[in-house]
Amino acid sequence: MTPEEERQAALNSYRAKLIESREWEAKLKNLRLEIKGLQKDFDRTEENIKALQSVGQIIGEVLKQLDEERCKHLTLSTATIGACDVIVKASSGPRYVVGCRSKVDKAKMKQGTRVALDMTTLTIMRMLPREVDPLVYNMSLEDPGQVSFAGIGGLNDQIRELREVIELPLKNPELFLRVGIKPPKGVLLYGPPGTGKTLLARAVACSLETNFLKVVSSAIVDKYIGESARLIREMFGYAKEHEPCIIFMDEIDAIGGRRFSEGTSADREIQRTLMELLNQLDGFDYLGKTKIIMATNRPDTLDPALLRAGRLDRKLEIPLPNEVGRLEILKIHAAGVVLDGDIDFESVVKMSDGLNGADLRNVVTEAGLFAIKDYRESINQDDFNKAVRKMAEAKKLEGKLDYQKL
């Protein structure tokens, strides 16, 4: 065999071995992926087996942690000191002195902490989250939506003051410490319906990316004595555990009305709810990351104790928009619609005296409906003119509605 033939044979052998090596690498890669998938199946099966074999646990509440001296007063032996150092109250009622697993962080275990106890030894196995009422949990699921301050027109001064009260203490608390003042705890938004009170609260929650609790005050009132006050306590407790958090209480006049000596049992329950709310506001930390916003369209009915400084430090009036504000609001709502040519919004605004922000949004909606009725895909000037006249006529009826008895 000539050297050239030997060289060619060696190259062919090398190529064959290289192809074979790549095939084995591909097989090895597939086997590794199969092993990884089987490992996941094994872990999942093992978890299911453990779940089937696991025993239920008793829910308890920590009453007090005992130190070494207190354990000696309980006539416990030296061997048991350290193992039995927590007094707990089981859900069934009895109290026990129990031990604690080494993995449980005792520093975080305070009075009132919910714990899981072993069925046989009653040893504390783990700490449980705070019990949350379903109504409070539903409040936390409220999504503020994608609302920005740029989408709110005619309220520049109110936005600035609201951000000073809510946003500044949450983002830069050191500024208040440096100056030596206490930031406001909360703010009251009051004004006619449809002026943007709820919208402002949602915009604040979106700009800060905080937890948001939207509370409809009338939903808190319960027919059973003490239940409404308990809901207030749980609501504020949930907010403190999920800081930063903004509590928005809409229609606060439902529970924050003036107190009087005479009344039914339902009125007294509402008054107890108000007293619990005042108590929770007094227990607030000024520099805490929980802020409260209240809104009402009847500020004259609120109890003076709720409005005093230290509870609701700032009261912001959200008035009906003026001509400049109405023009801003109308342009904001008309930004996403298809327009037929240039629209003279100023002439539309001049016919909209007395309309609020919600009415102006309806003006755009009504103009779109007029376009749909005429089988058009864009809104023209005439549609806006007819829509604003229709809303102005409907507005006149709001204070004149008189329903006859059936």
Range 58-127 classified under CATH 2.40.30.160: no
Reply yes or no on whether the pLDDT at 54 is more than 80: no
- Rounded to whole angstroms, the Cα distance separating 328 from 203 reads 17
The pLDDT value given to residue 353: 86
**Per-residue confidence (pLDDT) for residue 80, from 0 to 100:** 45
Least confident range from 73-87, 265-279, 370-384: namely 73-87
Give yes or no for residue 81 having a pLDDT over 60. no
Kindly report, residue by residue over 145-162, the tens digit of the pLDDT.
Answer: 788 888 888 888 999 999
The pLDDT value recorded for residue 188 is: 92
Beta-strand relationship, 114-117 and 211-216 = unpaired
pLDDT of residue 73: 55
| pLDDT tens readout for residues 289-323 | 888 999 998 888 888 888 888 888 889 998 888 89
What pLDDT does residue 402 have?
Answer: 45
pLDDT, position 284:
65
Residue carrying structure tokens 């958090």: 245
Q: Is it the case that residue 397 has pLDDT exceeding 80?
A: no
Terminal Cα-to-Cα distance of the chain (whole angstroms): 118
Q: Which two tokens stand for residue 404?
A: 């006859």
* SS3 of residue 371 by DSSP: helix
* pLDDT over threshold 90, residue 211: no
Check if CATH label 1.10.8.60 holds for domain 323-398.
Answer: yes
> Average pLDDT in the 119-143 region?
79
Determine the Cα–Cα distance for residues 364 and 70; give it in Å rounded to an integer: 73
C-alpha–C-alpha distance, residues 241 and 290, integer Å: 9
Instruction: Find residue 339's DSSP bridge partners.
Output: 379
For the chain, give the mean pLDDT.
Answer: 83
pLDDT in tens, 179-195: 888 888 889 999 888 88
Whole-number Å distance between alpha carbons of 287 and 187: 15
* CATH 3.40.1280.10 is held by the domain 134-317: no
What is the pLDDT at residue 401? 43
| Strand-strand pairing, 245-250 and 114-117 | unpaired
With cut-offs at 50, 70 and 90, classify the pLDDT of residue 30: very high
Domain map (residue ranges) of the chain: 58-127, 134-317, 323-398
Q: Which sign, positive or negative, has the C-alpha torsion 292, 298, 302, 308?
A: positive
Confidence label for 287 from pLDDT (cuts 50, 70 and 90): low
For residue 98, give the H/E element and its range.
Answer: strand 95-98
- Of 102 and 345, more confident: 345
* pLDDT computed for residue 145 by the predictor: 74
Highest mean pLDDT among 98-112, 289-303, 335-349, 361-375: 361-375
Helix 227-241 to helix 265-282 angle (10° resolution) is 20
